Each structure stands twice: as structure tokens, then as C-alpha cells.
A = this chain, B = another copy of it.
């Protein structure tokens, strides 16, 4: 088993080994019943002492992840929600560079009646008809688009439309400074594979987006989580943390943060940018939600203040237009962008040209009016959801009141038994995102994330009510 150990890291070696193995187990990458390498073998392959590995295994056993028995060795414990492992014998020993895959584990539901886990917008709210009409016209009038690889960087016409869009939000760039990706997830992945490697220090908000954590973990980065309050990342604390470990990259989702909903103040945005300048590092500003405000528009993006190319800005149009088209835009300058384009080329030779052209006229001419309507619809949903929370949430449960975005972030009472809750909810056809996947370690979190926009208004109300009743019964049962 391969584990990237940071010998000068902030965590002890047994802790790093135990956390990485726990992540592989909770991600489902290590299946129940799989045998772990012996202490001797793992110690030798990681070049650490057997005491170190023994400590890690003991910790894993204490936390119920593995079962060890004298003479037989250690095995991954049985859990719920796992499919039987049918791998050929040799495959288990074939090393990988995939320490964690919580996105895969937690978002790959086939059918759930009440999917609250995925931050998405219900199809009835999306502009599928005009985008579909454009697509139908394209394939009939310009079938040759289907025959073309297009430009690795993304279609020039779409980039010009994106440029104007960003310009209207205070970000002045040329269309050459933009790249089209298959969703922001790919944008984050491209930045990580290009600029982050083993031991590089990446700062993120605590909590942060699961998909970003998966990606940085896959690069062997040392992820450090920065505390937040209602004004977003505590940049003052980050500044002190950077004194000890200078940043290679800072990942932030400053507006209606995923999952917490908090929005970074303008003063902190400025200070964060100054920090990046002084450390000559990159900020990844992931911004899927800034158009989805309920009352006041959020502060200007960090990118709009960036004069020296320190911010890689990611604007997803996937969630708000058509997730099935997977279109996002990455804005960066100079050889930061050109290296990202080179990485995009070897990842997939460019995103499909057809889907790029299908969303183009809508973004160009109808997006602003649509966004205004969408904001109202989302606000009504959010209000209905918080109303239900006030009415039915069990005592001890609190939540943020987001000013925009798609998610509620609930804090449950101490030791809420989220694993059990998750399984119970699944039995009733309800899904949610357990908060612990929004952190890098596998420290249990008291939080869960619920998305209020993935269902129709009525279904959301019905499902949320049912979930809150279930939550009440669950919390009562574990109090006894």
C-alpha cells in the first residue's frame, strides 16, 4: 500500500498512516474483508518502524475501521453500503495513488427518492428548453461541429461570451485568458495536477468542498484547514499559519461557501490577495454560487481585484444551466493559464465542442434575466426549508442562514451518530451529505449538508419534513 508520508508534516507518522487508511476504507477504496498488509511488510514499504505501523493499526482498530487477530492479521471491518468485492487476488496488492474518493463514495447514488446530498438544481428550474433548442438546431445546421475536436482551450466564441460575462462582474480579461473545462471539478483537478505535488502545502476552509479535498489528497498535498466564522475564512489565522508553513496554493469558495454557506467579507478578500502576493502563490477562487444571492449581491470576487495573476478563478455554468453539459470557465493569466491548457490537453483533448456551443447563446443573451428568476425561486425554497427547520428540527439542532447558494449546513448535538442516521435515512429513500467528508481527516463531524434545490418545492417540503421527523426519532434513540 502506498502512502505519501510527510516526515516534516504537522501530523505524526502513525496519525498520517491511520488517517490515510481510514480514508481509503470510508471511501470504499478498501472493501470490507480486505486484508491489510502485515505490520512488517507495511513498515518496510513505507520505510518506517514497525512500532509506527502498529500504533496506526491500533488506532484504526479502536475506531472500528479494522479488526485484528493474533496470527491472522488485520482485516477491514464489515460496514453497510458496500458491494461484494470480486477482484482477482493480485489486484489487491497492485498499488495505487488514490488515497481518498469521498465524492465517488457519497455522490454516486443511483436512485433516491429525496436526494438532499447533491448540490444541484431541479430540472424544472433549469433553462433546458432554450438550450435544447440550440442543440437541436446545431446538430442539424452545423453537424460538422460533432466532427471536430475543437480547441483544447475551449471554443473561441464561447470564451468571448464568457469574457463579456466576467467583464459585467468586474473581471476584465481577454478571451485568451479563459479556458473551458468539464465543470469546475475538472478545473480544480487541472490546477492540482499542474501545480500541487507531494508535500506541497494547500490551505482550505474548514469545512471545504469534498471534491477539492479528494483532488488535493490525490496529489499528496499537505492540506491545512483554516477556521471560518460568519465572514468566511479567518484570514488572520491563515496569515499566522503561513508563517509556519508557506502556502503553495490556497483554495477558497468565498461566496455562499460550500458547505457552510458563509460569505467572505471584502476586507478579508483583499487581505487574502495580499497574502498570495507576498508568498508568490496561487489562490483558487471557486465561484459557482455568486449569482444565486437572495437579497444583496455578494462582494466583488477576489479575481476582480487581482492585478498580478495570483487568482485562478472558476465559474461553473454547469449547476445553474445544465449539469448534463458540464460547462465551466477557468480564468487565469500568463503561463499559469498556458500550463493549465497544456494539462487539459493531456487530460482529455478538450471538452466536447457541441455542448460548449449549445449553452453559448443562452449565456450570451438570456442568462441575466434567467438568473434573476432563479434567485427568486431559490429564495422561496430556502425560506420554506428554514421554516420547516424552525417548526420540526429537534432541540439542539442549529443551522446557518445562507444569503445565497443551494445548501443548508446543520449542526447536530454532540455525538449524533451520523453513520447510523445516514443508514436510516437511506432506508427511507433520503440522502444527505455527512459533514466529515468536508474535512481531510476522518474526525467525526457533527454537521450535515442538505441541498434544498434538487427537488420540486413540494417534494423538498415533504422530504425535509420526513427527514426531520427521522432525525428526531434518531436523536431520541441515541439519548437513551
Contact = CB atoms under 8 A, between A and B. Distances in A.
Nearest to A190: B347
A305 interface: no
A435 B146 CA distance: 29
A13 to B, nearest CB: 20
Contact of A118 (B86, B149, B345, B348): B149
A451 B50 CA distance: 57
Interface stretch (A64-72, A104-112, A238-246, A441-449): A104-112
A324 B29 contact: no
A280 interface: yes
B88 A334 contact: yes
Interface stretch (A229-237, A291-299, A351-359): A351-359
Copies, count: 2
Contacts of A140: 132, 136
A97 B322 contact: no
A85 interface: yes
Contacts of A197: 2, 97
A349 B181 CA distance: 12
A143 interface: yes
A287 interface: no
A195 B97 contact: yes
Nearest to A197: B97
Nearest to A95: B195
A366 interface: no
B194 A96 contact: yes
A187 B349 CA distance: 11
A280 B323 contact: no
Interface string A60-100: 00000000000000000000000001111011111111100
14 contacts: A29-B339, A85-B335, A94-B281, A94-B336, A104-B342, A107-B149, A122-B147, A131-B146, A132-B146, A149-B323, A214-B345, A218-B346, A326-B352, A347-B347
